[in-house]
């Protein structure tokens, strides 16, 4: 008799079914299969700045290919500290308060591991970025969703306050936000800060789109609000700003009390961010002039305009997002009962992939919305716009 395992023990974990392949990946796979244009994933295929590309190649040739400190090379930690001071007037000790991570994603994961316990609750604003929710679920932390008010996603202060319970440990804030493009205003941040202080909560911020701000809007780093530095874990990275999503370099900055535990958990999962790419990111921070960052915003503002016009021509309603690089468009007129069906219809008709809006909301919401990414090379974006206009 061949040996058989007790099949009841060969199962996935309880968590696995809940965090399976995201709708974004599913659309990307489907788009690749059809040879379509992918405006679904925020892959950002605009060119890498020359100084950064050259520094990465040089670093590899120079033999900078081994593990680094788990919280990153000194030169990059120092450059990040300089940047936070330059941009926000916030002073961080590069030795004890800055951690280079394998992307903002890893910085967030490490912060959640270091600061939250199973059963804790974290407030997250809706529409949300799926990783923010699923990372918490994977750690058995409970995301508590607080809806922002349509049409322009204003903070609903009463809803936020009503969501706080004795189990709440933190608020997660993504500004500028994916997918809505919302930039939290100073009065809104003051309300969030007040709740954090009244209930003694951490504020975990994801500021990966800090330079993607349009029409003169300004990103405010929430750690700059009075009393917030010690309780705010600032997370950001270079994936978007330097168009290096595949290199995996991001960071977290926070009070020295939280950093050793965060670095420990980052070490356990990632060991370190890739060494040559850390050096390249440092070169970028050190050498690119302030005009680089304003140009990034100007370029993307122009891309936003092109895509917005094409979506309108295709009968989709959308307003210009103040930040980040996505447009959340109303596509109720497309056939289908769900956003996923509408996205598949659009892909079949035009060869343009978008993400079902439902990916960013609780079940039953976002079914009339599609999210389009405009961080694409101009030629590719123009091709996608042409196809959309033909709908
Ligand atoms: N945070 C947000 C809000 C994002 O939209 C993304 C990518 O789409 C990330 C983080 C990923 O950042 P990183 O590549 O640095 O892990």
**105 C-alpha to center of ligand 1: Å?**
6
Check: CB of residue 358 under 8 Å from CB of residue 340.
yes
Check: CB of residue 313 under 8 Å from CB of residue 333.
no
Domain spans in the chain, listed from the N-terminal domain onward = 19-48+291-389, 50-287
**390 C-alpha to center of ligand 1: Å?**
32
Check: CB of residue 139 under 8 Å from CB of residue 18.
no
- Which residues form ligand 1's pocket by a CB distance below 6 Å? 42, 103-105, 129, 174, 178, 206, 208, 237, 239, 245, 250
Return the best residue to mutate from 129, 204, 325 for the ligand 1 pocket (most ligand atoms within 8 A of CB): 129
**Does the domain at residues 19-48+291-389 carry the CATH identifier 3.90.1150.10?**
yes
212 in helix, strand or coil?
Answer: coil
What whole-number distance in Å separates Cα of residue 389 and Cα of residue 207? 33
Quick one: which atom of ligand 1 is closest to the CA of 42? 8
Check: CB of residue 323 under 8 Å from CB of residue 176.
yes
Supply the pTM of this predicted model.
Answer: 0.95
Neighbouring CB atoms inside 10 A of 291's CB total: 9
Check: CB of residue 133 under 8 Å from CB of residue 143.
yes
Same fold, 19-48+291-389 and 50-287: no
CATH of 50-287, one of 2.40.10.10, 3.40.640.10, 3.40.50.300, 3.40.50.970: 3.40.640.10
**249 C-alpha to center of ligand 1: Å?**
11
Per-residue pLDDT of the chain (391 residues; tens, 9 = 90+): 455 555 788 988 888 876 555 677 778 888 888 889 999 876 678 899 999 999 999 999 999 999 999 999 999 999 999 999 999 999 999 999 999 999 999 999 999 999 999 999 999 999 999 999 999 999 999 999 999 999 899 999 999 999 999 999 999 999 999 999 999 999 999 999 999 999 999 999 999 999 999 999 999 999 999 999 999 999 999 999 999 999 999 999 999 999 999 999 999 999 999 999 999 999 999 999 999 999 999 999 999 999 999 999 999 999 999 999 999 999 999 999 999 999 999 999 999 999 999 999 999 999 999 999 999 999 999 999 999 999 8
pLDDT, residue 5, reads 56
pLDDT, residue 20, reads 59
């Amino acid at each position: 008799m061949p040996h058989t395992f007790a099949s009841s023990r060969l199962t996935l974990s309880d968590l696995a079914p809940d965090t399976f392949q995201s709708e974004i990946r599913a659309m990307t796979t489907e788009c690749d299969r059809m040879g379509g244009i992918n405006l679904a994933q925020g892959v950002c295929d605009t060119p890498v700045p020359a100084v950064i590309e050259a520094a990465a190649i040089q670093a590899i040739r120079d033999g900078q290919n081994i593990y680094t400190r788990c919280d990153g090379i000194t030169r990059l930690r120092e450059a990040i500290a300089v940047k936070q001071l330059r941009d926000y007037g916030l002073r961080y000790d590069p030795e004890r308060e800055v951690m280079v991570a394998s992307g903002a994603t890893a910085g967030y994961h490490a912060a959640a591991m270091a600061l939250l316990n199973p059963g804790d609750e974290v407030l997250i604003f809706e529409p949300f970025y799926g990783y923010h929710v699923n990372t918490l679920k994977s750690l058995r932390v409970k995301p508590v969703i607080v809806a922002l008010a349509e049409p322009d996603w204003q903070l609903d202060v009463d809803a936020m306050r009503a969501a706080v319970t004795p189990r709440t440990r933190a608020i997660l804030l993504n500004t500028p936000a994916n997918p809505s493009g919302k930039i939290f205003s100073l009065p809104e941040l003051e309300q969030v800060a007040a709740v954090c202080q009244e209930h003694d909560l951490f504020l975990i911020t994801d500021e990966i789109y800090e330079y993607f701000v349009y029409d003169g809007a300004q990103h405010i780093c929430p750690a700059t609000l009075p009393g917030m530095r010690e309780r705010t874990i600032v997370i950001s990275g270079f994936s978007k700003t330097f168009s290096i999503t595949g290199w995996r370099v991001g960071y977290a900055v926070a009070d020295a009390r939280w950093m050793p535990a965060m670095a420990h958990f980052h070490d356990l999962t990632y060991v370190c961010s890739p060494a040559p790419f850390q050096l390249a990111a440092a070169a970028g921070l050190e050498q690119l002039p302030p005009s680089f960052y304003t140009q990034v915003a100007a370029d993307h503002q122009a891309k936003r305009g092109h895509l917005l016009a094409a979506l309108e021509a295709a009968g989709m309603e959308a307003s210009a997002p103040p930040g980040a690089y996505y447009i959340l468009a109303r596509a109720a007129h497309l056939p289908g009962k769900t956003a996923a069906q509408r996205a598949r219809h659009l892909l079949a008709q035009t060869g343009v992939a978008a993400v079902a809006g439902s990916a960013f909301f609780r079940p039953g919401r976002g079914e009339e919305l599609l999210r389009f990414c405009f961080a694409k090379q101009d030629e590719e974006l123009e091709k996608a716009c042409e196809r959309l206009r033909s709908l």
